[in-house]
């Protein structure tokens, strides 16, 4: 059994990690941390877990983490993971970080969007945790920078097509829509029920900090300049994310080649489903799972490829993919702890 | 492995059965039936299951059911289960029926509320499937009449108190609230999103057919006349049920005795949680599970006991309890197939 | 034109007052106050009003209120209205207070539930603003203590029946359900979208501070001891309130007498609709209006009268009734500013 | 008073017409038609209107419509309006049609998307009812083809920019999101509460029949070939529509010119609000109104203009704009019957 700690266990991504890890067959949960609930039971924060998770929440203590855990998931605000990473990695503990701190190879790119990086020397030992794409590197990594939810939903459909040159790297548009849990559990007017119900809106239009993350990966994959306009929206639902992505197909590329490329790339991967023609992804179909459903329509008249991808923002968009990365890092079955059959609703 | 069929697999309760049974360690799903989807894949009805459930839907064929299944779950409209039950039971197949057809010991009571009973001779071999209360009888039964969702939520808190005489059997009130999935998957104006959102209403006030079901069980338990006014309501949410139950405490009964009684009765039962003082059950805490959360407040000034119970109407209120009954019938661990850790949301 | 100020304009009840008053034919809005938005436009708090309401929010200034307004609506937290009331009333300004500060005739009752009363001498000049019941007193009052939303929904169906002696005054139960806007606009975990969606729960069971308000009025109406168990619940919707009320009919009282009593009492009152037999009130039918829909079912077998009342908690439950009281106080048509035809959804 | 009939009054758009027209100061509602509710009161279909609308629903009878109405609103399925239009127009009755039957100047374009046109000779007397753009023609028209909800939200931001040549006419993308009421009131699995809640999905990707309607208008306005990829989505809310539109700015065009163009075009128009920089439209801000909120962001790095427009699909997207067109046709104040102050929620 691998000993696992979750730092930041009482946010939504943290709680989803606790849910997945507490029934993972190869895992023993040893430590949960939470500033807000330190000294109290995890079940005070989430009564749903009563009778199933018995741990107390603690303050973060790098020494304790290093001695009690083989791997630490950090579901913390940006900036905090890079502060504790050196001590953990130095002690041989592996890190799966759900913040942005270890998603960039180039500290300068991180710093343009976020803040000065506190541990740039660790970036060389960290890998971007898009599981299906970078599985080999993830397996060997000391640190996995788990992708953001938006990037996961945008990159999974685009990378195979860019690698094969089936779409043009410029002029990409990602119009993404996220459920409210993506905004976290901290109360604010923005997540007040009455402000969300009957409301649909965009935010951070062409200015969201997930855009540089996507662009950095896409540029690496395309081998050069990529242009992406990214517009996130908020949907009045708790969990789920759908990205509608617009790309120019390369000359001569038709629907069959697009389909062959996507199906080929993801053949045998249990968590990406390329949906048959005429089938449109729906967040309800992936709720509570680690699955990414991908569909597409080629608008021949306008020579525009419309890709659609649905994930659960807390699943494949956060905790699910993090556990998948754990499985890759420790040589477990890729689906270990992630094979719950989805619910119809 | 027990061979299991689900008849009526493409309603919400049926799909929840498929979800639970397809990851049950002791079960092999052999047959799914659906009038509407006969000849098509189950995943056409519920794309969420793509890659996880590969069965075709079939028409009901008693012969095939008898030869391919050791136990049949019937998630069918009232009237249909009692038609196929004789052939199945005659062939030695056990039946877990989610309709009302086998919930009553007395055919006359059934017939007052529903219709002429087609197989009254089988009522003697059928048991009311309230798992925690009738576990021994369920284990031995040929047929289990799985309780309705409302009765489950009302009976679990009341039966221990009635048995011990801590509340008066007359003047009971159950004010219950159900999520929309309880109304089934068939389209109607009543379940149209726009008619449900921003709507809260009662229906079948003091005239719901679950009332006689509750009264029959309560009368048996109380050993005499019980009076219950039952008012169901519809909540703008998909899954979940909360019952607020009002009872008169017997003379001299205080909160401690109520608590001792409930905690004693359900001690060691994995799916009923008696919540600590001050903790109010919430449907979100049991969503997707087979758990029933029970809390209470004694209004001393008015000598009124307010009991609150929360279940998932598709879980403990339908498919979850049905699987729990399967476990009791076949001697499996009571939590087999039902031990998924709940989600925070 | 009456000059009107709204103190506390940027909460939900305040904004609903602004909406109603800004199209009221006899009203000129002169002052809006808001601590949080002082110095900024009201439309920054509520962009929906852009182009329709042009006022700046101000800090509360009794002098300015007294010189610029003939009547002040206070949609402020309890305690604040009673502090500014003496100055306003002393200057001849009338007050319609949506807090609890002036809802009680007896300061001691208020103080048991809330806090020391700062202006008990004004209670004699204040009237409980249940419009249909106390219209004459309201017309002459210096101060109207506008009823709480729960009391409005519970008292309107009960008072006529109590006055005529058609129900017993003891053993009353009010099982009430409120939309989330009743919890106010301040962010908290309790109103976080993800905690509310798919959640139904009770709160303050038999301990809500609206219970003493109801009991005081009911006791006055019944001329003696009344017993009421009150249990409020939270519904995942923005606006709306439904109360399900259980009462014992007096000996010999049948459905016809109940109907005659209710219809007689509310005949000609534009905002209370006694619904025909078989018709169950639904919050969607009164959303955005000042209407209270009342229906009932007599459970003959258990001799229990089930009354159902639906209001909009921000309408008849708060701002709507406050404007209705304005109309009564100034001799305007009772429906002035309140006659918008309701929407289907 | 103009005598007005609403044909198809018991769908959502029809009911919204009834709501608006029943409080319109220049209108007398004379006839409501409904196949489903013929012979029954309108309030049986929509109990919210009890006490406010007293009409019976009738079958469609062209003779009666012609003799009792000066103008008929047809909120009917496509095909039906063009059948009754000749008789009505022949009798001098004006027609405001909410179907697609009179939205196209060229019958061939209509027929490619819909079906053979039954009254092509009337197309010359019909005008596309985008109120702000074609006000003069609407004023004089015998028939107004009221725009679809999606086209309204897409055309209002695009037309001023195309007319001034500030954006390229090719490569346009409209990623639109609609509330569920846009799917109509007929029950179907697609609008079942449980299938909609926690679901976000696209449908009719690059194949929706509103696309030809938009393209025909855009081509006319741009004076030539326009390319538009249109992808509609369904949002789990009742009312509201947001379109996110992607366009290429013409060379040298910056944010100031875009703003000047939009503000100039809509100056003085009461129902289009060009939102200030940094303000993102939100469907909640226009719910229940005839307002269209428009905002934009220029993604300079990618030279992409992102336009955002929010309307109420039943308001400016259907019934509201239809009433606005009535006002234009009869010389009433443009805001007559449409000036309700919006609600905060």
Q: What percent of chain A has pLDDT over 90?
A: 98
User: Half-sphere exposure of D53 toward its Cβ, with a 13 Å CA cutoff?
Assistant: 36
The Cβ of residue A105 has, within 10 Å, a number of other Cβ atoms equal to 16
The Cβ of residue D51 has, within 10 Å, a number of other Cβ atoms equal to 13
Euclidean distance between CA atoms D13 and D10, whole angstroms: 8
Euclidean distance between CA atoms B78 and A96, whole angstroms: 51
Q: Is the domain of D6 the same as that of D108?
A: yes
CA distance A271 to chain C (A): 25
Which residues of A are annotated as catalytic?
Answer: 149
How much is the pLDDT for C223?
87
Average pLDDT, chain B: 97
Euclidean distance between CA atoms A79 and A271, whole angstroms: 30
Q: Is the domain of B47 the same as that of B178?
A: no
Q: How far apart are the first and last CA of chain D?
A: 33
Q: What is the tens place of the pLDDT at every residue in C77-95?
A: 999 999 999 999 999 999 9
Give the residue numbers spanning the domain of B297.
Answer: 150-313
Length of chain A: 345
| pLDDT over 90 (residue B223) | no
Euclidean distance between CA atoms D87 and D56, whole angstroms: 23
Cα D160 to Cα A3, C28, D163, distances in angstroms = 62, 37, 5
Euclidean distance between CA atoms C315 and B307, whole angstroms: 31
Q: Does C325 reside within a domain?
A: no
Q: Which residues pair with C244 in a beta bridge?
A: C175, C308
Q: Is the domain of B113 the same as that of B167?
A: no
Are A59 and A52 spatial neighbours (Cβ–Cβ below 8 Å)?
no
Q: What is the tens place of the pLDDT at every residue in B80-105?
A: 999 999 999 999 999 999 999 999 99
Tracing tokens 């100034």 back to the chain, one arrives at C330
The Cβ of residue C87 has, within 10 Å, a number of other Cβ atoms equal to 13
Chains within contact range of chain A (3+ C-beta pairs < 8 Å): B, C, D
B295 confidence band (pLDDT: 50, 70, 90): very high
Q: Does B343 reside within a domain?
A: no
Chain B residues touching D198 at Cβ < 8 A: 238
Q: Does B342 reside within a domain?
A: no
CA distance A85 to chain D (A): 34
Best residue in A192, A196, A287 to probe C by mutation, most C CBs within 10 Å? A192
Q: Is the domain of B140 the same as that of B162?
A: no
Element (H, E) at D290: none
Give the ipTM of the model, two decimals please: 0.97
Q: Is the domain of C167 the same as that of C264?
A: yes
Q: What is the tens place of the pLDDT at every residue in C186-220?
A: 999 999 999 999 999 999 999 999 999 999 999 99
Q: Is D305 helix (H, G, I), strand (E, B) or coil?
A: strand
How much is the pLDDT for C205?
96
Which residues, in sequence order, are CB contacts of C172 under 8 Å at separation 6+?
A: C158, C218, C226, C227, C228, C229, C245, C246, C247
Euclidean distance between CA atoms D182 and D313, whole angstroms: 6
How much is the pLDDT for B224?
82
Euclidean distance between CA atoms D206 and A298, whole angstroms: 8
Euclidean distance between CA atoms A273 and A171, whole angstroms: 26
B225 confidence band (pLDDT: 50, 70, 90): confident
How much is the pLDDT for A203?
96
| pLDDT over 90 (residue C306) | yes
Q: Does D143 reside within a domain?
A: no
A228-287 residues touching D, CB cutoff 8 A: 228-229, 231, 233, 235-240, 242, 244, 246, 280-284, 287
A150 touches chain C (CB under 8 A): no
The Cβ of residue B54 has, within 10 Å, a number of other Cβ atoms equal to 12
Q: Is D304 helix (H, G, I), strand (E, B) or coil?
A: strand
Burial of D258 (0-12, 13-18, 19+ CB in 10 A): buried
Q: Pairing between strand B292-299 and B304-311?
A: antiparallel
Query: Based on C-alpha coordinates, what's the Rg of chain C?
Result: 19
Structure-block tokens of residue B84:
């196929």
Which residues, in sequence order, are CB contacts of B256 under 8 Å at separation 6+?
A: none
Chain A residues touching C237 at Cβ < 8 A: 197
Burial of B136 (0-12, 13-18, 19+ CB in 10 A): exposed
Q: Is D30 helix (H, G, I), strand (E, B) or coil?
A: strand
Euclidean distance between CA atoms D153 and D177, whole angstroms: 10
Structure-block tokens of residue D124:
């010359």
How much is the pLDDT for D51?
94
How much is the pLDDT for A165?
96
Q: Is D227 helix (H, G, I), strand (E, B) or coil?
A: coil
Nearest CB partner across the interface for B341, out of A49, A238, A282: A49
Domain of A93, CATH number, reads 3.40.50.720
Closest-CA residue to B11 (of B68, B76, B93, B96): B76
- As a whole number, mean pLDDT of residues C274-302 equals 96
Euclidean distance between CA atoms D3 and A159, whole angstroms: 61
Euclidean distance between CA atoms D296 and D274, whole angstroms: 9
Q: Is the domain of B54 the same as that of B70?
A: yes
Q: Is the domain of C112 the same as that of C231?
A: no
The Cβ of residue A263 has, within 10 Å, a number of other Cβ atoms equal to 14
How much is the pLDDT for A224?
82
Q: Which residues pair with C71 in a beta bridge?
A: C4, C94
Q: Does D341 reside within a domain?
A: no
| pLDDT over 90 (residue A309) | yes
**pLDDT (tens digit, 0 to 9) for every residue of chain D, 345 residues total?**
999 999 999 999 999 999 999 999 999 999 999 999 999 999 999 999 999 999 999 999 999 999 999 999 999 999 999 999 999 999 999 999 999 999 999 999 999 999 999 999 999 999 999 999 999 999 999 999 999 999 999 999 999 999 999 999 999 999 999 999 999 999 999 999 999 999 999 999 999 999 999 999 999 999 888 999 999 999 999 999 999 999 999 999 999 999 999 999 999 999 999 999 989 999 999 999 999 999 999 999 999 999 999 999 999 999 999 999 999 999 999 999 999 999 999
Q: Is the domain of B55 the same as that of B74?
A: yes
Closest-CA residue to D319 (of B257, B88, C345, A236): C345
Burial of B105 (0-12, 13-18, 19+ CB in 10 A): middle
| pLDDT over 90 (residue A294) | yes
Chain C residues touching D15 at Cβ < 8 A: 343-344
Domain of C225, CATH number, reads 3.30.360.10
Q: What does the DSSP assignment read for B71-108?
A: EEEE---TTHHHHHHHHHHHTT-EEEE-SSTTS-SSHH
Q: What percent of chain D has pLDDT over 70?
A: 100
How much is the pLDDT for A223?
87
Chains within contact range of chain D (3+ C-beta pairs < 8 Å): A, B, C
Q: Does D176 reside within a domain?
A: yes
How much is the pLDDT for B180?
98
Q: What is the tens place of the pLDDT at every residue in A201-252?
A: 999 999 998 999 999 999 999 988 899 999 999 999 999 999 999 999 999 9
Q: Is the domain of A22 the same as that of A123?
A: yes
Task: Report the predicted TM-score, pTM, of the whole model to 2 decimal places.
Answer: 0.98
**What is the chain A residue with the closest CA to D309?**
A201
Structure-block tokens of residue C72:
């002040």
CA distance D243 to chain A (A): 9
Residue A180 per-residue DSSP state: G
Average pLDDT, chain C: 97
Structure-block tokens of residue B33:
């039936």
C191 touches chain A (CB under 8 A): yes
Q: What is the tens place of the pLDDT at every residue in B168-203?
A: 999 999 999 999 999 999 999 999 999 999 999 999
Residue D149 is a catalytic residue? yes
Are B64 and B87 spatial neighbours (Cβ–Cβ below 8 Å)?
no
A194 touches chain B (CB under 8 A): no
Tracing tokens 């946010």 back to the chain, one arrives at A11
Q: What percent of chain C has pLDDT over 90?
A: 98
The count of domains in chain D is: 2
Chain D residues touching A207 at Cβ < 8 A: 297
Q: Is A258 helix (H, G, I), strand (E, B) or coil?
A: helix
Angle between helices D12-22 and D320-330 (to 10 degrees): 50
Element (H, E) at A148: none
Q: Does A82 reside within a domain?
A: yes
B37 confidence band (pLDDT: 50, 70, 90): very high
**What is the chain B residue with the closest CA to A240?**
B345
Residue A191 per-residue DSSP state: G
Assign residue A303 a region (left: φ > 0; alpha: ψ between -120 and 50; beta: otherwise). left
Q: Is the domain of C64 the same as that of C114?
A: yes
In the listed set C97, C128, C159, which residue is the last one of a domain according to the structure?
C128
Cα C169 to Cα B31, B206, B216, C221, D329, distances in angstroms = 58, 21, 31, 10, 60
- 3-state SS, chain C, equals CEEEEEECCCCHHHHHHHHHHHCCCCEEEEEEECCCCCCCEHHHHCHHHCCCCCCEEECCCHHHHHHHCCEEEECCCCCHHHHHHHHHHHCCCEEEECCCCCCCCCHHHHHHHCCCCCCHHHHHHEEECCCCCCHHHHHHCCEEECCCHHHHHHHHHHHHHHHCCCECCCCEEEEEEECHHHHCCCCCHHHEHHHHCCCCEECCCCCCCHHHHHHHHHHHHHCCCCCEEEEEEECCCCCCEEEEEEECECCCCCHHHHHHHHHHHHCCCCCEEECCCCCCCEHHHCCCCCCEEEEEEEECCCCEEEEEEEECCCHHHHHHHHHHHHHHHHCCCCCCCCCCCCCCC
Q: What percent of chain A has pLDDT over 70?
A: 100
Q: Does C63 reside within a domain?
A: yes
Closest-CA residue to B291 (of B255, B247, B341): B341
Q: Is the domain of B85 the same as that of B132?
A: yes
Euclidean distance between CA atoms A342 and A291, whole angstroms: 10
The Cβ of residue B336 has, within 10 Å, a number of other Cβ atoms equal to 17
Which residues, in sequence order, are CB contacts of D27 under 8 Å at separation 6+?
A: D1, D2, D4, D21, D326, D337
Q: Is the domain of C88 the same as that of C181?
A: no
């Amino acid at each position: 059994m691998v000993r696992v700690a979750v730092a930041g266990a009482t946010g939504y991504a943290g709680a989803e990690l606790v849910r997945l890890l507490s029934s993972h067959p190869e895992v023993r949960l040893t430590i949960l941390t939470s500033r807000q609930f330190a000294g109290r039971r995890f079940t005070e924060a989430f009564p749903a877990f009563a009778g199933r998770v018995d741990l107390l929440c603690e303050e973060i203590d790098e020494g304790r983490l290093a001695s009690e855990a083989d791997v630490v998931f950090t579901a913390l605000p940006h900036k905090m993971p890079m502060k504790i990473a050196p001590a953990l990695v130095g002690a041989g503990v592996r890190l799966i970080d759900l913040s942005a701190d270890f998603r960039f190879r180039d500290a300068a790119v991180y710093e343009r969007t976020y803040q000065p990086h506190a541990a740039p020397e660790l970036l060389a030992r960290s890998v971007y945790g898009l599981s299906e794409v970078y599985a080999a590197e993830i397996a060997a990594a000391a640190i996995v920078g788990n992708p953001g939810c938006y990037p996961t939903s945008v990159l999974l459909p685009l990378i195979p097509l860019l690698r094969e040159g089936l779409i043009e790297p410029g002029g990409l548009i990602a119009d993404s829509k996220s459920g409210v849990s993506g905004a976290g559990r901290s109360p604010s007017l923005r997540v007040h029920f009455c402000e969300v119900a009957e409301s649909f809106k965009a935010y951070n239009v062409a200015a969201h900090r997930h855009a540089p993350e996507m662009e950095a990966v896409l540029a690496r994959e395309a081998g050069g300049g990529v242009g992406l306009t990214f517009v996130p929206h908020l949907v009045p639902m708790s969990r789920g994310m759908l990205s509608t992505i617009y790309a120019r197909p390369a000359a001569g590329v038709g629907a069959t080649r697009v389909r062959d490329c996507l199906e080929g790339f993801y053949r045998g991967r249990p968590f990406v489903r390329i949906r048959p023609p005429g089938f449109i992804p729906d967040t309800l179909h992936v709720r509570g799972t680690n699955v990414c459903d991908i569909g597409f329509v080629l608008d021949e008249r306008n020579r525009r490829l419309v890709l659609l991808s649905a994930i659960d923002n807390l699943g494949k968009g956060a905790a699910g993919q993090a556990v998948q990365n754990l499985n890759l890092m420790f040589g477990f079955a890729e689906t270990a702890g992630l094979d719950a059959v989805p619910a119809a609703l």
